[in-house]
Amino acid sequence: MSKGGFDVRRQTGFTTVAVFCFVVLYLPIILLVLYSFNAGESIAIWEGFSWRWYVSAWENERVQAATVRSVVVALSASLIATSSAVLAALATTRTRPWRGQTLAFALINQPLMVPEIVTAVALLIFFALVKVWTGYTGLAYLIIAHSAFCLPFAYMPIRARLQGMDLSLEQAGADLYGTPFKVFRRITLPQLWPGILAGAMLAFVISLDDVVITEFVKSAGQDTLPTYMLGQLRRVITPEINAISSALLAISVMLVIGFFFLSRTPK
């Protein structure tokens, strides 16, 4: 062993394996973005640079409707999931240990542990029964399904933020006869905001990109942008799909970067 200790970067073949993994991960994405600017209709033959397919997607009424629906569902699900996650995080970090706390933690994070297809089928069966009983077939089912699925994604950064906060200020506020609500509003919430925003952004991205649960839960005429793209891939593939995918990629990357900076623990 060298004096500096074990270093995985010095192991035989590490660089080769690392480069191979990065190529496999990012080369398809680079090609997708590149061919979104293809002037022709082929997704494999380059025919020159053009903004044609971005303009086509922008002017496509079905794309516009699906985009608006995706944003409405994602914003609603993000708001509901984040609000619930704040309450759940407070209950599991700012209270004395209580019986069933571990079980509650496991239930909150259930969507992370159970395959998404299982969750989708379960929601399909449950909502089918509700539709029969109520006759309602609106967008609320999608919002509820996305909220439930996004809950753990909002919960984890909020809980991590709460666990990393100094309790001395909250204890001082309580010693000065502050009510629990006033201590939360004046002391805890201002420090918790970065975690809340990070959780909301992550939940928004997860909801915006979801296909499996949406495909199972949605009713006729309720296509979101990802399910619209899936339907188009089954019919005819044009660089318009590349353009839409590139736009979604850009939005997701910007939100994930924002999540990274907001969730960092200050030194």
pLDDT: which is higher, 70 or 266: 70
pLDDT at 1 exceeding the cut of 50: no
Select the highest-mean-pLDDT range: 74-83, 179-188, 251-260. 74-83
Whole-prediction pTM: 0.82
Per-residue confidence at 124, pLDDT binned at 50, 70, 90? very high
* Closest CA relative to residue 242, chosen from 3, 47, 89, 42: 42
List of residues 6+ apart from 131 with CB closer than 8 A: 137, 141
In this structure, what DSSP letter does residue 132 have?
A: H
| Residue 152 pLDDT > 90 | yes
For residue 38, the SS3 value is strand
* Alpha-carbon span 54 to 52, nearest angstrom: 6
227-252 tens-digit pLDDT: 998 888 887 777 888 888 898 888 88
**Among the ranges given (4-18, 36-50, 154-168), the one the predictor scored with the smallest mean pLDDT:** 4-18
Whether residue 138 has pLDDT greater than 60: yes
Report the candidate in 110, 92, 102, 257 with the shortest Cα–Cα distance to residue 162. Answer: 92
Q: Is the pLDDT of residue 259 over 80?
A: no
Q: What's the confidence (pLDDT) of residue 266?
A: 54
Of 80, 68, 67, nearest in space to 203 by CA = 80
Give the chain's domains with CATH numbers.
Answer: 60-263 (1.10.3720.10)
User: How many C-beta atoms lie closer than 10 Å to residue 228's C-beta?
Assistant: 20
- 264 burial (CB, 10 Å; 0-12 / 13-18 / 19+) is exposed
Quote the percentage of the chain above a pLDDT of 70.
94
CB environment 181-217: b (16+ within 10 A), e (fewer) = eebbeebbeebbebbbbbbbbbbbbbbbbbebbbbbb
Question: How confident is the model over 47-69, as a mean pLDDT?
Answer: 90
Q: Return the minimum-mean-pLDDT range out of 12-16, 102-106, 263-267.
A: 263-267
